[in-house]
C-alpha cells in the first residue's frame, strides 16, 4: 500500500507550496480534512458526516464573498446541494427511527 500522505505532498509540490503554513484559512481547513481522511484506514459514516458538514461550512463562508462570478456561484450551489443530499441520506434512517418512536409513543 502506498503512502496516502504523499498525495498531499505531491499536490503541494505541484502548486509550489512549501509548507501548510502558506495556506489560507479555508485551504487549511480543507487540508486538515484531507489529512484526516487520508490518515485513516477505513472511513466511517461518522467521518463522512463530519466531512460533509465541514464542506458545507466552507461553502457557506464562500457564499459570503459577494465578489464572485456567476460560474463560481453556480458551482457553490451545486456543491452545497450535493453535500446536503449526502447528509440527508446519512441521517434519514435516524430521522425515520425518531419519527417512528414518536408515533409509537403517541399510541400509548
For residue 33, pLDDT beyond 90: no
Q: What's the CA gap between 94 and 91, in Å, rounded?
A: 5
Task: Kindly state the average pLDDT of the residues 41-62.
Answer: 90
Are 72 and 27 within 8 A, CB to CB? no
Mind listing the pLDDT tens digit for each residue in 9-31? 888 888 888 887 888 888 888 88
For residue 60, pLDDT beyond 90: yes
Residue 37: pLDDT band (50, 70, 90) is confident
- Enter the pTM of the model: 0.57
Mind listing the pLDDT tens digit for each residue in 62-103? 999 888 899 999 999 999 999 999 999 888 888 888 888 888
Supply the pLDDT for residue 21. Answer: 84
Amino acid at each position: 500500500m502506498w503512502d496516502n500522505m504523499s498525495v498531499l505532498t505531491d499536490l503541494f509540490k505541484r502548486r509550489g507550496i512549501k509548507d501548510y503554513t502558506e495556506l489560507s484559512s479555508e485551504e487549511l481547513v480543507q487540508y486538515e480534512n484531507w489529512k484526516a481522511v487520508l490518515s485513516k484506514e477505513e472511513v466511517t459514516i461518522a467521518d463522512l458526516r463530519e466531512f460533509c458538514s465541514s464542506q458545507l461550512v466552507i461553502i457557506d463562508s464562500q457564499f459570503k464573498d459577494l465578489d464572485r462570478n456567476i460560474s463560481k456561484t453556480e458551482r457553490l450551489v451545486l456543491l452545497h446541494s450535493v453535500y446536503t443530499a449526502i447528509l440527508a441520506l446519512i441521517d434519514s434512517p435516524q430521522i425515520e427511527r425518531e419519527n417512528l418512536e414518536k408515533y409509537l409513543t403517541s399510541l400509548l
